[in-house]
Amino acid sequence: MNVLLEKWNTPFGLPPFAAIRDEDFGPAFDEALARARAAIQGIADGPGTSFAEVIEALELAEGDLDRVAGVFYNLAGADSTEAREALMRELAPKMSAFSSEVTNNKALWAKIEALWQGRDWLGLTSEQARVLELYRQMFVRSGAALEGTAAERLTAVKARLAVLGTQFGQNLLADERSWHMELSERDLAELPGFVQEAAKAAGAEKGLGPVVTLSRSLIVPFLQFSPNRALREKAYEAWVARGANGGETDNRAIAAEILALRAERAQLLGYADFAAFKLEPEMAKTPDAVRDLLMRVWQPARAKALADAGILEAMLKADGLPAPLEPWDWRYYSEKRRKAEHDLDEAALKPYLSLDAMLGAMFDCATRLFGLEFREIEGPFYHPDVRGWEVTRGGNHVAVFLGDYFARGSKRSGAWCSAMRSQRKLGGEQRPIVVNVCNFAKGDPCLLSYDDARTLFHEFGHALHQMLSDVTYGFISGTSVARDFVELPSQLYEHWLEVPSVLEAHAKHHVTGEPMPADMLQRLLAAGTYDQGFATVEFVASAMVDLEFHTGAPPTDPMQRQAEVLESLGMPRAIRMRHATPHFAHVFSGDGYSSGYYSYMWSEVMDADAFAAFEETGDAFDPETAQRLERFILSAGGSEDAEALYLKFRGKMPGVEALLKGRGLLDAA
């Protein structure tokens, strides 16, 4: 037997990581796919036509496949090997073909459509009615109603998109892995101690002396603190050139092909363009609604950024350096300005923000809000860096939470939350195994920037959405919600890091144990909206490029189209997109955020308003508000329309003013 297909007699049903070999995955996928195909064909061909015999049977038909995929794709993203990358390339068309087989199965589609047409007489619960609606929507949007050559072409398009998305992500990882810049003793000495330690650790991983790599956790502080303008330029240009270096890892032609195929996919399904197709089931509904939100934020953000650029350029000139201010200068001079105006020195701040201290803060907030308790458990897990906790409430098991926090060459960049196993009740109570992945610079101890701490809280907000899920059907479990709603729990949870009592209790010096000085804490919180012109401009520019890529005819040259969009916006010259096209993994490594990068900002409108619900009570941990948040948002998954859930929690939908206030941009609006 293959260990991946056996019953796992392990604590909490965790995968037996120590027993799993790379060569187990291929055969396990083959067998799991065969079992899923047989089960689904049995549903299609069998006599059953009831909700239980069709929809509930489909919910359970891919159990083995879900289990194998839950392990493999988590490992492939967080700890890749050559064998795993090769299998990802092999699996991309296989998994796409399987998905198309299911949605193209006419007998199965006929049963789902019959259930839908007769839904008013089935006696369904509200959750069952929602699941039926979403199943039918998935089949329709996957082309179930298409016939003949149109159906065949859509299958081919989706298969090719799966291959290209995998290739895009692997090219990006290869570029990130291959580049480094060695630092001389003098260059190293000019950096704060925590950056020195991170550079030494990154070099040691490569068998070298201290280096700068393209990991955000290392290159951003290097750009903040290195006084060597030439080195900053070299590092910055390498960072923004990921995926655009020519050769086998160049992503520009891949991006163009992806955009063309997405447009064709939308047209085959009867939509004007891919943005119209993608946004239809989201809260925003239309490209115009997205564009309106982004432009209402863009104007004040741009005005603020231009004013800030003038100040930073004056500082550059005062250093005797030639203008203009360049993108590789912004973080350096912004950090100097922050220290001057807010008396905040990140090197002095970090010792109070160790990873262990911030994990304690993160867990404490979840305990105070939702009664959750966290007990660290022993591995082995899939990598020695990974830590695990059992999550309980009132003595009852809730979930297993895994944290994988350190950057390494085998891990793709960024931060994310995923589930190796999702919550459901159908077929027996299944509690989730949730994974948070970050890319912090490894140290002894690991010291975080305030932005790193926000990232930690952000991803744990996603984890709470998974762990507190309380639905019957896995199809609507946890984060299975509209893309522009999924970031609400994560961005909302960041707000508790800003609660003074949280930092007072947990931000303690990693050596002395002394709490963060009160005046430092006040300055930190007062600087909460510092440099938001920059942050908002780099985000909105990326979101607008994503939207315009997918609106209208696809560009034959995405880089030219990117330049045109930025010019039309009046992009400040010293700021570039947060994610330029060749390394815009959110949009091109898969379908998730395509035409949907705006969703962080759409959710931010709600998260600012949702935290205000707590503030209005005078208690950031108000029990009644926390109960409503759990009941209507965190535990509900996709059991209702996102807007309906938010209205149940808050009673009204917010305007963009809450976002502008939260970012300190109201005065510039």
- The residues that are catalytic are 459
| Angle between helices 532-549 and 287-318 in degrees, nearest 10 | 140
Q: Tokens 């990006």 label which residue?
A: 172
d(CA 89, CA 82): 11
Nearest to 571 by CA among 299, 337, 288: 299
CA 250 vs. chain centroid, Å, equals 23
> Which DSSP category does 243 fall into?
T
* Angle subtended at Cα 565 by Cα 561 and Cα 568, rounded to the nearest 5 degrees: 135
CA–centroid distance for 333 within its chain: 29
- Characterize 123-160 residue by residue with b for buried, 16 or more Cβ atoms within 10 angstroms of its Cβ, and e for exposed: ebeebbbbbbebbbebbbbbbbbbeeeebeebbbbbbb
Determine how β-strand 433-440 pairs with β-strand 396-406.
parallel
Tell me which H or E stretch contains 539: helix 532-549
The 3 state secondary structure assigned to 599-649 is: HHHHHHHHHHHHHHHHHCCCCCCCHHHHHHHHHHHHCCCCCCCHHHHHHHH
- The contacts of residue 29 (CB under 8 Å, 6+ apart) are 65, 68, 69, 72, 87, 91, 94
Taking a C-beta distance cutoff of 8 angstroms, is the pair 200, 183 a contact?
A: no
**Three state DSSP letters for 487-514:** HHHHHHHHHHHHCHHHHHHHCECCCCCC
Separation between Cα atoms, residue 540 and residue 601, nearest integer Å: 8
Q: Radius of gyration of the chain from Cα atoms?
A: 25
Please state, in angstroms and rounded to a whole number, the distance separating the CA atoms of residues 52 and 29. Answer: 27
Which 8-state DSSP code applies to residue 570? Answer: T
Is 204 in contact with 544 (CB distance < 8 Å)?
no
Q: 434: part of which helix (H) or strand (E)?
A: strand 433-440
Phi, psi of 467 (to 5 degrees): -70, -35
Q: Residue 542's closest CA among 582, 511, 512, 507?
A: 582
Q: Which two tokens stand for residue 324?
A: 């203009």
Give φ, ψ of 247 to 5 degrees.
75, -160
Instruction: Write the DSSP assignment of 583-604 as a string of letters.
Output: G-HHHHSSSTTTTTTTHHHHHH
Residue with tokens 């001057």: 340
> Do the Cβ atoms of 154 and 146 come closer than 8 Å?
yes
Find, among 274, 240, 253, the residue nearest to 167 by Cα: 253
> Strand (E) positions, 72-201?
180-182
